[in-house]
Structure formats: structure tokens, C-alpha cells
Amino acid sequence: MTADLVALRERIAAITARPRAGAPSPFGFPSPSGGGQGGGSRRLPPNCTEEATPFGTVAVRREWFPDDGSQEVGALSTCLGFAPDELRRPLFLDTETTGLSGGTGTVAFLVGLAWREGDGLALAQYFLCDFDQEQALLWAVGQCISQAGVLVSYNGRSFDWPLLQTRLVLQRARWPSPPHLDLLTLARRIFRPRLPDCALQTIEQSVLDLHRADDLPGSLIPSRYFAWLRQGDPRVLGPVFDHNQQDVLSMVVLLARFEALLGSSNEMHPLDRFGRARFLEARGFQVEAIREYQHLWREHQAGGALRATRGALGLRLARLLRREGRWQEARLVLEECWHTQTYPYPAAIELAKLLEHQARDPAAARRIVSEALRLLAVAVVSNAQWRADLERRQQRLERRLGRNESPGLALTG
Amino acid sequence: MSIELALDRLLVQDEFRRHLTLDHTVPARPARYAGFPGALDPRLAEALAARGISRLYTHQAEAAALALAGKDVVVVTPTASGKTACYNLPVLQAMLRDPETRALYLFPTKALAQDQLAELHGLVGALKVDLKTYTYDGDTPVSARQAIRQAGHIVVTNPDMLHTGVLPHHTRWVKLFANLRYVVIDELHAYRGVFGSHLANVLRRLWRVCAFYDSHPVVICCSATIANPKELAERLTGRPITLVDDNGAPAGPKRLLFYNPPVINRELGIRRSSTLESQRIAETFLRAGVQTIVFGRTRLQVEILLSYLQQSLANRLGQSGTIRGYRGGYLPLQRREIEHGLRDGSVRGVVSTNALELGIDIGHLDAAVLCGYPGTIASAWQQIGRAGRRRGAAAAVYVASSSPLDQYLVNHPEYFLGRDPEQGLIDPDNLLILSAHLQAATFELPLSNGEAFGQAPVAELLRILEEDGAVHQAGDAWHWSADAFPAEGVSLRSANADNVVIVDVTRGARVVGEMDQFSAPTFLHEEAIYLHEGAQYHVDRLDWEEKKAYVRPVKVDYYTDANLAVSIKVLETFASRPAEQLTVHHGEVRVTALPTIFKKIRFHTHENVGSGPISLPEQQLHTTAFWLEIPAEVARQFPRPAMQGALQGVANVVSQVSCLFLMCDARDLGAYSETRAPHTGTPAVFVYERYPGGVGMSARLFETSTAVIVAAHDLVLSCGCESGCPSCVGPALEVGEEGKAVALRLLELAALVTAAAQ
């Protein structure tokens, strides 16, 4: 509104003087500037039909797509811990909302859902023609959710689902809570080493090779909805429905891609393979993760394309090997890191740990630490944490060696 | 060593005795007890007993009983009279009866919330039940928030957090709202003026949200002594409230002294420094081993007093650590340590800003020295209340500065001792404040057709919001329909979203303060010397578009004074009344101010050492005002030039006295005089509110105008200066040689005080 009192007063006066817009007209038709469009024929967006619910009607756009893609779920099930039966009945969900700031005043006005039906994919986009239909919309969406084996979303855990929960509280409604697979979490694990970000559209272009034409930017979506509410022009909504549909369909493709990625390593980008190994490690598949890291490590030794992440790769591999009790192998990896990397300090720290505790060679550990500190002292880029860690380690090793060595020194001296 | 000894040492000095304007002993008050309210849970009685409490004071018992019976209540409690029991008892009792019960505690600041939480933890710990109490404010880690929303039995927060962090996300607080039985509003008197008007609207939103979850919490308010606790509580909460003001806490006798430092330059009305005099008096107490608190008005003054006292007492007390400072800006841990030292007696003296006047627990001290009037009578009593054991004597000395308010008070101790005249005033229906919260309310829950929100023209406001695209009507309700978060744009503390922020460029762009848009051109124009808490800053640049003033600290021997071309237009007169031979009015005005040039004026000599133009846009303020009009036939009795200065003098003194009556800050009011007011052509003196639309202060001035005018007259009459000084109508340089005499005469004509005063 305005911050000017007089301007506000003048506008109030103008409204008071105007014939009352909100008053019911004698013919029972609503005024054009809003007002209850109770019952009867609402305007509908293109290709939408009205469906009945116990709470009045709701608008929906339905489509069906033939889907001959693989419906294998074994790898996903193994890696993620969902039951195969749940994964075979996914419900894909994506919402369009009146804002991104959250809070009770943000409404999901379009809920796109997709599920497998026969040998194809059914898509339903429930649309809120006006705010007073929300109860009906939530009921209809809830019906689909109660059928779902697993809910599949992209960033749904922190955005769509909490927002819908807020709407449920406000409408005093309840839904069942199926297991939830947020593809963003998975995408971050696997594609983060390769991609600048993990926005769905980035994934589409760089992983799925899908390219949207004339897509409506997400930031413009709320204003399109407000334009529909105020002017009732159905044409402004077409691109919103298309955007939502594309989001849902991309999830369908992405889920299948994840199954393939997790199940086999054919023609995989080495960075994705590294991401997948990190994912396996995080999920507790240590043996598999070691195998993958070792494969990538050998590839790197043979001059593979892993330059950017080889440091992280070596460290991860060594840490896992050490944890598995294979410290001799770990030592080789760390030594190579120590000798070849531009910033060998984390490797030096790991190597010193290993030399001290597993190889029981504190003198060698001290050599590495001192050498690392000398390098760090002249390094262009320094790091207080590395320095502190190395210095602490050096002091401890000095103490330890001092205790054990002094008689020896006396003998030789 | 004792308080009597220290007082003797002061009172044997002729010079000191001669300048006392009040030597009054507040008699000891015995404790009056009442039993625990019937049906008090035995576990609660046990926990209290474990903490040494076997019975309640009468006011605690009355408040707790009313609250348990479901009555909304406001308790007036002087400092350290055990007010927390008034709300903790009923709240804990309800929780013992039903563990699902939830309560919300509101404190005006985060520091107070922390302090109360410590106290509450102690009591809950003794109860040996699993009741979770948490603070929820800007400092609460994000990781802890979820748990607090789910599991907190008592959530302690502040109005700002309720406004932006809780209400707009109420669906995450289902457990709290669905089971909310008590809302505690402590330090009620802090919610005055703009802040209080905002809080009243935040509470309207809170009640809507509660109603949605079908809960109807009981409200328990605690207030320091003000004139209208019941009225303020009722206006804030929008509910009828029962007043409990029968204080049963005991107090030893207290000697109250008012000291007016002697005049050292009669012509200019300059007195000996109140800072140095306060230091001397505090020193006497401290040397006698009396635990003493000294209140300074600003942070700077506190630091000066502290270093003086530490220096002069270093040998005496062994280590200077036993005298500590206390003010905003000290780290929480440091504060806790000082509070603890005061309670266990290891800290012998403390110099504090008003930070210690609020409900922070520091136990009871023996003596208080007030260096200058803290701005309101309620604050003064709070500060005086810091001295006073439950048994044994205590003393409080008020040392007046030369400001007009100080001089009025020190010369009118009967006013101070009489019924407290200060009002906690708010206007919950200020259109700008209300409309901001109406948006936030619609965001939180759709507004039903015909639903009321305060006394606002809701339907019209909604139509405007609809035109602006912020709301949309569907079915039988109005829904928020914009991609925006309305609570974010509304600050509860500052008058206006468009305040000018003052940035110190030398200290990593630290924000040192802010100023309303209307005052900024006068004080923050480029090259201005801006005074902030006693420090001087030079304004390097004023970015009017971005509303930022960039300043750096300086030490110069001059100040700046901006010339403003001000005019006032009366838009509407709400009410008028004769005031003897003059008339008083209340209405809506438009104040226009155009800064023209500024002058650099050397301290002490007041010579003009430079000047420059100010090129800033004209400022307009639409607000409400109280004004005094001088009819032409009266004005004719005085020569024109004398009249001009006298009007300015009346404006100065009336606005100063108004602050006293309204319990408001001097910056909340503006004063202006016209020898020929455009709407009548006759002389007039205006006192206007600086917040657009006003928050009810000018209306109250109109209602109590006789008392205000009489007080203004008394202030001028009792001032010892010859022809005006900063302690009354303003310096003679400003009001002219005859200014004071004519001003006095004008005030006489307005209140028929001639007979009474002579």
C-alpha cells in the first residue's frame, strides 16, 4: 500500500463515494472486480475440465502419454532402501505457487501429478480457479497421494511438501504420508562434481539432453496466476501449465536415468561416476565405493579426465581403504597424492596419521609434517586450519619422539 | 558502615543541604501476605518452598487467583516486588494439570527474555517435571527452531519475532496455538507510542490465529507504575482487563533527596555539572561501604562517570573491579557476571544506563543516584526502586541537570510525589500502522467478508489493496494474492519504513542509528555535525534516494544548526475550546519543512563560524497536532517583535512539558510557532506528533491542556534566569530580551494562573 497518509485517506474517500462494488447486484451476478463466483460456470483454463469432489468442483487438465521406458527399479531400491513395490508405483509431484517466500499466505495453485497407468503415463494438473476451491483441490490431490507407492519430487522435501502441509492445516484436512524420494538429493550427490548447480533445468540440459523451447521462467509464474485471477484471461495460463508439465515429465525421465546410472557404468562420464561413488559411500556401500574409486584412480593414473577432483578422489579412496584395514594400499595412494598435488596438505595430514598409527613409524610421519609445514610457509594460498592441524601434529610427534629417542641419541652421540 | 552515616556526611555540608529541593522519607511498608490460591498443585507449593517461598504477597496471590479463574489481568508492580510469580504460578499450575498446555511470554527485548528464562528454569527445575521452556528470537539457531515449535511448553519471545517469525508461519506452530492457554506481556509500560500501537495490531493478529485453532488464551500483563495501566492493557489487547495494583511486597524506609546543583552563571542560567555532582555524591556512598547504583542518561555519560569513580576510589576499594559499568553493548556473559556480583555483594557499585531499570534481577541495593531525569516519571521510580531492601533503610538522590524537564521536576517535587500523571498512550487504529498489519493478517488467514480489524474501514482498505493487487476476493473471504511477505516490510520499532539509516564509514560501515525521514534533512544534511549518544559525527554524504547518511566520528568545537522554512496548514479541526483568554485546538495538520541553509556555531561563544546551503527536497508530514491560539485582541497587547520570540519560547516550553505528561521521547513531538497562522491570521503555537497520523498524543494534550499549560507556566516562573535560558523558554539569543516575560504572560492568560502563582 502507500506510506502516505493523505493519499490513503483520499483513496478511502474515493472508494466510499463510489457505488458499492461489493454489493450483490439484483440479478445475482458477481461484479467484475472480483467477488464470489459462487457455483455455476466458472471460466476454465484451456483444456481443463471440471470434476466433482465432496467439496465442490475442481479444474483439472488430464493427459496420457505412452511410455515404453524401462520400469526396472532394482538398483534404486537397493541403493535407496525403498521397497521395489513402492518404487513401481511412483507418484510424481510438482507444484506452482503464488510465491517463493513461504508462509501461510503462499498458495499452491497448480499441482501437477503423474503416475503409471497401463502401458503409459497419466498426467493430471489440478488447478485452483479461485482461492475458494482449495479444499476441493486438496481433496483431489489427496486421493492420488493415497494411491502412491512413493512420492517423487524435485526439491519437494523442503519446498512443495511443507507448503502443501501448510495448506492442509489451513483447510483442516489430512493426507497419508507416503515415502518420499526427493530427486534433488540424489542429483546433488551424483552430478554436483560435474555441474555448476543442480537446478532441474540444468540437469535436463546436461544429463537428459532435453531442451525446453519457449519455457516460462519460474519467477514469472506467480504474476501469471494473479493476472488470471484479476483479468480472467485463460491465455496467460498456457505456458504455466506447460512449464509444470515439463517439470513433471523430466522427473519421470530422470528417475529412469538414475536407475540406469546406479545399475551400470556403461559410457558414464567419469565425474558422474565419481559422484555415484560418493553416493554409494554415503549410503554405506563401502566395498562398492572402493571398487569405483579404485577404478577411477587407475583411470586417472592412466591420464584420465579427472584432474579437477583427483585430490578428493585420492583422499576418499585412502580414507575408505584405511577404514577397511587396507592401509598399505591407502599409503600408496596418499604418497602419490603427496608427491603430485598442488595442495598436498590434506594428503600430508592423512599420510602422517597413517604413518603414525598404522605403519607405526612416527619419524616418517614427522618428516612429512615438517616438509608440509615448510611448503605451507612459502605457499601463495595458505590455510589456517591446515597449518593449525599440522603444527599440533608436529608438536605431538616431537614429544613422542623426544621421549623415545633421547636414550638413542645419547648412545649415538 | 551504613547508609545513615553516608547521608550524614552529605547533609552536614551546608552547600549540599541548601540546594536540596526535597528531603522526603518514604515510610517503610510492611509485607502483606496471602496464602497460596486454593487448589495450588502440591508439587508447585513444594517447589516454591524449596526456593524459600512459603506464602505469597497479596498482589501475587490476587493476580494468580484471577488468572487461574480465566480472568485477563494487569498487575502493577514496582521494581523487585516478585512480579514473575504473578504469571509463572498460574502458568505452571495449568501445565501441571494438563501437560499439553502452552504459554507464550512476550518481553520487549531479547536481554529481558533471557533473564526471565533463567528464573523460570530454576522454578521448573525444582518441579521435577518435564516442562520445556525456550526463547525463540533472532538468535535462536535454525537447527533448534523445529524442536521449539513442536515441544516448547513456554515460548519466550519478543513482539518483533512474533510479528515476522511466528504469526506468518503459524501452521508450523499448531501445537502451540491449539493449546495456548496463557499469553504473558511483561514490561507493559514499554509498549507506548508507535511501538505500542504496532504491538496492539500484532496482538489483533495473534487473537485471529488463536481463534482459528480454537484457543482463547488468558492474558497476564505486568506493568511498572504508570497512570493508566488498565487503559493501556485494554487498548493493547482489545479486551476488558482486571487491574491488580495492591502491592503487598515489603520495603524498608527510603530517604529521597532532590538536589539541584548551584547556579554558577546566573545570567545564562548555567549550573554546576550534574555529572560531577553525581560522581561526588556516589563517591560518598561508596566510601561508606554502601552498595550503590548510579544511573546515567547516555552511554557516554555512563563511561565518564565510571572512569571518574574508578579513579577516585581505586585506592580506597583496593581494586576498581568492584565498580562496574552496565549498558547496552556489553556482552551477555559480562552482564550476567555483573548481575551476579551485584546480587552476592562482590560488586559494590554499578554505573548504568536505563538498561538496569527494567526487570533484570540484580537484587536490592542500598543507594541510587540518578544523574539527570531519565525522561519519564515511571522510569525515575523504577530507578529509585533499585535502592531499597526489604528490611533496612535505603536512599535515592536525584541530581538535576539544567534541561527544562529536570528543572521543572527538581523545583516541583510535589508533582513527582503526587499521583503519577504519565500516560501510556497508543493508537491501535492509526491508519498507516493498521493497514500494514491488515495486510499481514490477510496473509496469515483469509479475511472473512465483514470481519472487523480494529476500528478500521476494513472494507475500503481491502478495496484499495485489491486495486494494488495485494488481495483478492473469492467466495466469502479476502485472500492474500501477491508474491510478497508483508510482515517483512513493517518494523515495529521505528516509526516508518522509510527511515534514514546512519552509517559510520570508519568502522566497517556500522549502523549507529536511524532517523525518521521528516527530521533527517535538519540533522543529517551534508556537513552537519550529528550528535549521537554524546559523540560527534560529521555527515560526509546523505544519499536521499537510498535513505542512508554516511558519517564519521570527529571532534570539533562547533555544532550545526539548520534553518528550516517551516509552515503548518490546519487541514481539519477536530475540537476547540477556550482556555481562558486564549483557545486550544486539536486537529489534523500538514507540516511542511524546507531546509535552506545551515550555520556552524562555536560552542560557548555561539559565534557563527561558517555556513552552507542545503539542497534537499521539501518534507511533508501529515499528522495530528495540539495548538494554542492567541486571539487578535490579546495579541495586540504585545509588541510584534517581542511576540515572535515569546511564541517560540512558549512552543519550546510547552513541548518539553508535554513530553513529561505524555511519557514520550522529546523526538516524538515537534513544536512550531506562527505570528500569523495562515488559517486565522492570528498567532499560534503548535505541538505536533512526528509519526504520520499521530498515535493519540495530541488528543491527550488537548484533553489535559490546562494541566500542561499550568506546568509550563510554573517551569518558566520558577526558573532563576533573567531573560530566558536553555532550562526554560530557551536562550535569550533565540527568544529575545522580552521573550521570557511575554511568554510567561501568554501562559498566564491561557490558564488563569496569576492568582494561584502569586
What number of other Cβ atoms are within 10 A of residue B71's Cβ?
Answer: 16
Beta strand residue intervals within B42-94, DSSP E: 56-57, 73-76
Q: For residue B196, what is its C-alpha cell?
A: 505500542
What is the pLDDT averaged over residues A12-39? 48
Residue type, A79: C
What is the pLDDT, as a whole number, of residue B617? 84
Residues 229-258 of A with CB under 8 A from B: 229-230
Residue A213 has pLDDT above 90, yes or no: no
Question: B92 with B126: CB under 8 angstroms?
Answer: no
Please name the helix (run of DSSP H) or strand (run of DSSP E) that holds residue B367, with its range, or none: strand B367-371
Residue B222 has pLDDT above 90, yes or no: yes
The tens digit of pLDDT for each residue in A141-170 reads: 999 999 999 999 999 999 999 999 999 999
Q: Does B287 touch chain A (CB under 8 A)?
A: no
What is the pLDDT averaged over residues B200-206? 97
What is the pLDDT, as a whole number, of residue B550? 93
What is the pLDDT averaged over residues A300-320? 76
The tens digit of pLDDT for each residue in B72-117 reads: 999 997 766 778 889 999 999 999 999 999 999 999 877 777 777 8
What is the pLDDT, as a whole number, of residue B364? 78
CATH of domain B3-25+251-417: 3.40.50.300
Assess whether the region B3-25+251-417 and the region B33-244 belong to the same CATH fold.
yes
Q: How far is CA A326 from CA A321, A368, B585, in A?
A: 5, 21, 92
**Chain B residue whose CA is closest to A100:** B483
Q: What share of chain B has pLDDT > 70, as a percent?
A: 94
Q: What share of chain A has pLDDT > 90, as a percent?
A: 44
> Are B464 and A8 within 8 A, CB to CB?
yes
Question: Nearest 5°: phi and psi at B231?
Answer: -60, -45
What is the pLDDT averaged over residues A309-327? 86
Q: Which range scores top for mean pLDDT: A394-398, B310-314, B496-500?
A: A394-398
More confident residue, B733 or B747: B747
| Length of chain A, in residues | 413
Residues 132-191 of B with CB under 8 A from A: 168-172, 174
What is the pLDDT, as a whole number, of residue A102? 84
What is the pLDDT, as a whole number, of residue B723? 80
Instruction: Among A50-54, B117-121, B229-233, B347-351, name the one with the lowest average pLDDT.
Output: B117-121
| CA atoms of A94 and A114, how far apart (whole Å) | 9
The closest CB to that of A104, out of B432, B444, B469, belongs to B444
CATH entry 3.50.50.60 includes domain A49-263: no
The tens digit of pLDDT for each residue in B512-550 reads: 777 777 778 888 899 998 876 556 889 999 998 888 899
Instruction: State the residue for C-alpha cell 513401481.
Output: A88
| Gap between the terminal Cα atoms of chain B | 46
Residue A31 has pLDDT above 50, yes or no: no
The tens digit of pLDDT for each residue in B178-188 reads: 999 999 999 89
Give chain A's mean pLDDT: 85
What is the pLDDT averaged over residues A182-187? 94
| CA atoms of B515 and B499, how far apart (whole Å) | 6
What is the pLDDT, as a whole number, of residue B317? 55
**Chain B residue whose CA is closest to A162:** B172
ipTM > 0.85? no
Q: Partners of B627 in the beta sheet?
A: B585, B686
Helix (H, G, I), strand (E, B) or coil at B454: coil
Residues 634-693 of B with CB under 8 A from A: 692-693
Bridge pairing between strands B154-157 and B102-106: parallel
> Are B436 and A226 within 8 A, CB to CB?
no
Residue A22 has pLDDT above 70, yes or no: no
More confident residue, B266 or B294: B294
Give, in degrees to the nearest 5, the angle at Cα B701 between B697 and B707. Answer: 145
| CA atoms of B355 and B112, how far apart (whole Å) | 10
The tens digit of pLDDT for each residue in A248-290 reads: 999 999 999 899 888 877 777 888 888 888 888 888 888 888 9
The tens digit of pLDDT for each residue in B556-565 reads: 888 788 887 8
Residue A409 has pLDDT above 60, yes or no: no
Question: A366 with A401: CB under 8 angstroms?
Answer: yes
The closest CB to that of B474, out of A12, A36, A102, belongs to A36
| Sign of CA pseudo-dihedral B443, B447, B453, B457 | positive
What is the pLDDT, as a whole number, of residue A32? 40
CATH superfamily placement of domain B33-244: P-loop containing nucleotide triphosphate hydrolases (3.40.50.300)
The tens digit of pLDDT for each residue in A228-247 reads: 998 888 889 999 999 999 99
What is the pLDDT, as a whole number, of residue B268? 64
The tens digit of pLDDT for each residue in B123-159 reads: 888 888 889 999 898 888 888 898 899 889 999 999 9
| CA atoms of B655 and B687, how far apart (whole Å) | 6
Provide, as residue numbers in chain B, all residues whose Cβ is less than 8 Å from the Cβ of A101. Answer: 483-485
The tens digit of pLDDT for each residue in B658-703 reads: 887 777 777 788 889 988 888 888 999 999 998 888 888 898 899 8
More confident residue, A31 or A7: A7
Residue A25 has pLDDT above 90, yes or no: no
Q: For residue A2, what is its C-alpha cell?
A: 502507500
Residue B334 has pLDDT above 90, yes or no: no
> Are B443 and A16 within 8 A, CB to CB?
no
Q: Does A15 touch chain B (CB under 8 A)?
A: yes
More confident residue, B345 or A342: B345
The closest CB to that of A98, out of B457, B476, B481, belongs to B481
Q: Give residues with Cβ within 8 angstroms of A388, minimum separation 6.
A: none
> Are A36 and B468 within 8 A, CB to CB?
no
Judge residue B330's burial from the number of C-beta atoms within 10 Å of its C-beta, 0-12 exposed, 13-18 middle, 19 or more buried: middle
Provide, as residue numbers in chain B, all residues whose Cβ is less than 8 Å from the Cβ of A220. Answer: none
Which residue, among B527, B529, B532, has the nearest Cα to B515 in the 3D structure?
B532
Q: Does A377 touch chain B (CB under 8 A)?
A: no
Q: What share of chain B has pLDDT > 90, as a percent?
A: 35
What is the pLDDT, as a whole number, of residue B603? 67
Q: How far is CA A151 from CA A63, A86, A204, in A?
A: 19, 9, 20
Query: Would you kindly state where each structural domain of chain A is located, as residue ranges?
Result: 49-263
Which residue, among B114, B44, B113, B50, has the nearest Cα to B85 in the 3D structure?
B44
Q: Does A220 touch chain B (CB under 8 A)?
A: no
What is the pLDDT, as a whole number, of residue A142? 97
Residue A309 pLDDT class (50, 70, 90 cuts): low
Which residue, among A223, A201, A221, A198, has the nearest Cα to A210 in the 3D structure?
A201
Residue type, A49: T
Give chain B's mean pLDDT: 86
What is the pLDDT, as a whole number, of residue B249? 86
What is the pLDDT, as a whole number, of residue B345? 85
Residue B220 has pLDDT above 60, yes or no: yes
The closest CB to that of A98, out of B483, B486, B496, belongs to B483
What is the pLDDT averaged over residues B233-249? 93
What is the pLDDT averaged over residues B256-263? 93
What is the pLDDT, as a whole number, of residue B551? 92
What is the pLDDT, as a whole number, of residue B205? 97
> Are A100 and B466 within 8 A, CB to CB?
no
